């Protein structure tokens, strides 16, 4: 059995359901379980294909989830295809291939579940949630009048998003380049020497660790899921300003990858057919007025993104929990706040969002 499940930011899988499903598949020599999540889009197909005891293939394609409510209480529609007919044999083969291909996919947003540790990692990273947290989230959405039909909301799909091509297992999504805001290139900021403790806007170093690298930016609407026309679920890690100005926070667009994160376990992937890399890091995340939480976040380095507007190559993908919290923050949320990404000599990372401008804005990044 090959089972592919979507965990969407607005309606994520629960750890309880994923554990139960994984247990059902245990012992199956040819069984695979895959979880898919996309930034800025929903993974929402409703397709099932089975082969009966006589070896005849059947498939259903339609609106129904594979749940008791969908098949017993809701009004749904689907078509059923049975093998043995000239008009159905080829579509049935295509359906089987489309499902089976997922357990061999290795790209951003696709997780192969081979052990309980894989499930624990998705929970820690916010890709899946506890059932109680999911109930609370859906109740909050209902109270806010957002509704949950289809698990989505208006404006969540970027104009240029496309799903992976079934003919190219290494293809990924297309993400529009960001227009970097002209923030403060002429303000004449003095960076100076690094203080022994972090100043306003940065993470407080734990005893015994020293700051080695810092990057910062003022957050745009697209960074914090407040751009309804292009909800990206990521923060772009740009250079900050023109070369030679005090707004520049790193020497080169590759410096997040090559300076701050050079020693991490980068994995080769392809996005839009272009060579890219990804790694997943445990990052201390601090939002204003909230306690620190460690999130496992994906970092994507895609050099081809700079070809158009030459402003960033690297981004951090928000997990489902952070994406929702940023999206639902009151009003403009954290637009105009400052994000500071720090690395310490212990190899730990911290991402802090504050209303205050960090000082220094950059450290150890070649400028």
User: What CATH number does the domain containing 257 carry?
Assistant: 2.40.330
- Bridge pairing between strands 349-354 and 274-286: parallel
Query: Which of 215, 278, 277, 224 lies closest to 248 in space, CA to CA?
Result: 215
Residue 137, classed as helix, strand or coil, is helix
- How many angstroms separate the CA atoms of 236 and 222, rounded? 9
pLDDT value of position 338: 94
225 and 336 both lie in a single domain = yes
Phi, psi (rounded to 5 degrees) for 199: -85, -175
Q: Rg for the chain (alpha carbons), in Å? A: 22
pTM of the predicted protein model: 0.51
Residue 194 lies in a domain: no
262 and 334 both lie in a single domain = yes
Question: From the CB of residue 328, how many other CB atoms can be counted at a distance below 10 Å?
Answer: 14
Residue 165 lies in a domain: no
Q: Which domain holds residue 347?
A: 211-354
Residues 6+ apart with CB under 8 A from 27: none
Q: What is the number of domains present in the chain?
A: 2
- DSSP track, 208-240: T--EEEEEEEEPPTTTTT--TT---SEEEE---
pLDDT value of position 119: 92
63 and 143 both lie in a single domain = yes
Residue 228 lies in a domain: yes
Residue 112, domain CATH: 3.30.870
Show the low-confidence residues of the chain (pLDDT under 70). 39-40, 134, 136-208, 306-311
pLDDT value of position 163: 36
pLDDT value of position 145: 54
Q: Which of 151, 176, 201 is the last residue of a domain?
A: 151
Question: From the CB of residue 159, how many other CB atoms can be counted at a distance below 10 Å?
Answer: 8
Residue 172 lies in a domain: no
pLDDT value of position 143: 61
pLDDT value of position 22: 92
pLDDT value of position 183: 36
pLDDT value of position 207: 56
- How many angstroms separate the CA atoms of 114 and 194, rounded? 45
Biggest CA-to-CA distance, the chain: 77
């Amino acid at each position: 059995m090959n089972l592919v499940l979507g965990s969407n930011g607005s309606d994520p899988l629960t750890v309880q359901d994923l554990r139960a499903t994984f247990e059902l598949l245990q012992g199956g020599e040819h069984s695979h379980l895959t979880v898919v999540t996309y930034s800025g889009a929903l993974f929402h197909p409703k397709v099932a294909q089975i082969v009966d005891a006589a070896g005849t293939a059947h498939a259903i394609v339609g609106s129904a989830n594979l749940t008791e409510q969908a098949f017993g209480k809701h009004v749904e529609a689907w078509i059923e295809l049975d093998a043995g007919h000239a008009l159905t044999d080829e579509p049935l083969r295509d359906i089987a291939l489309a499902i089976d291909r997922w357990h061999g996919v290795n790209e951003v947003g696709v997780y192969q579940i081979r052990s309980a540790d894989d499930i624990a990692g998705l929970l820690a990273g916010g890709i899946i949630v506890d059932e109680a947290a999911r109930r609370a989230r859906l109740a909050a959405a209902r109270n806010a009048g957002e509704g949950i039909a289809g698990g989505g909301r208006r404006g969540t799909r970027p104009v240029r998003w496309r799903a992976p091509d079934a003919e190219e297992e290494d293809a990924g999504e297309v993400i529009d380049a960001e227009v970097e805001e002209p923030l403060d290139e002429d303000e004449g900021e003095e960076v100076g020497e690094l203080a022994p403790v972090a100043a306003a806007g940065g993470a407080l170093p734990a005893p015994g660790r020293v700051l080695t690298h810092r990057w910062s930016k003022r957050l745009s609407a697209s960074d914090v899921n407040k751009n309804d026309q292009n909800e990206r679920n990521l923060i772009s890690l740009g250079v900050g300003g023109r070369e030679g100005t005090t707004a520049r926070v790193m020497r080169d667009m590759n410096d997040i990858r090559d300076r701050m994160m050079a020693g991490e376990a980068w994995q080769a992937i392809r996005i839009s057919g272009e060579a890219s890399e990804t790694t997943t890091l445990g990052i201390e995340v601090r939002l204003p007025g909230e306690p620190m939480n460690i999130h496992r976040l994906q970092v994507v380095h895609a050099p081809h993104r700079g070809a158009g507007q030459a402003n960033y190559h690297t981004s951090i993908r928000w997990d489902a929990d952070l994406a929702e919290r940023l999206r639902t923050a009151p009003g403009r949320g954290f637009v105009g706040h400052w994000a500071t990404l720090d690395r310490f000599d212990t190899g730990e990372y911290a991402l802090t969002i504050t209303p205050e401008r960090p000082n220094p804005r950059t450290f150890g990044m070649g400028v």
